[in-house]
Structure 1
Amino acid sequence: MNRAPITKAGAERLRTELERLKSVERPRIIAAIAEARAHGDLKENAEYHAAREQQSFIEGRIAELEAALSTAEVIDVAKLNPGDRVVFGATVALEDEDSGETVTYQIVGDLEADIKQRLLAVSSPIARAMIGKSEGDSFEFKAPGGVRHYVIASVHYR
């Protein structure tokens, strides 16, 4: 079986979400369903149907998180020592060769990727273009808006 990599911090975030879903959201939905049931006719009871739909979503997310965490390979990024090479878990500062702008990303597992948090999936095109490169190396990748050129300004593992 191919185990999906996940950072230690990412695994903790997913475990926290799982615990919240089980201990807070699930009981809240069960109470909402019971309250909606008490209102009578279930066929035309919008609160009941909305609560059941939300329950279905929560149960699906719980199952998804449990399955993902049970098969994931948790990697402690702080214990990696690849020097200035980019590998899974690296926090990489990139300088756009065209605009001069600098942006920082961490390369993480697909389960924990969140572009808004600057967490790039290891399977993403830009992460694949960086893997194996070192500090000071240039690379290009095809973005939706065209080819982008970057220099790896720094590589850290924390």
Structure 2
Amino acid sequence: MIRTVKTLPVIAALAVSACSPDASLSPDDLPEDLFQSGPEANEATPPYGINLYPDTKVISAMLDGITMLVEVNATSDELEAFYRSEFERLGYDVVERSENGDQVSLRSNGTGRRQGDLTIAINRMEGAPNRYILVFGKMFDSHTSQ
């Protein structure tokens, strides 16, 4: 399956609108297999072999874990360090870091047999210091069909 960078803004917009306290889009507005919440969300995991930060509670998940609203007793810096090490464990080198307010994004390139990029956006929710929106992505070049 080929994923492109164009899908990330759509996924992020859906996540923010579905998870924000004043959301106009509710889980009932989404197809059943698109959104997980409650006990079902506790079983959600990030895609691409990435592990969740230890003791993370998943509040909701969209698109098979690509976007997750989580509650965790960790700082943004601790989450960033953990997911940086997860990328490295999977054979990806972090090549770019960006920060915008309460959001930190990492982009990594595959090394060796790993092709494409893994990305994560870590967005701390305003007014909820232990709640984060995590958006995971994987992009392939046009010659890769993983």
TM value normalised by structure 2: 0.24
Larger Rg: 1
More strand by share: 2
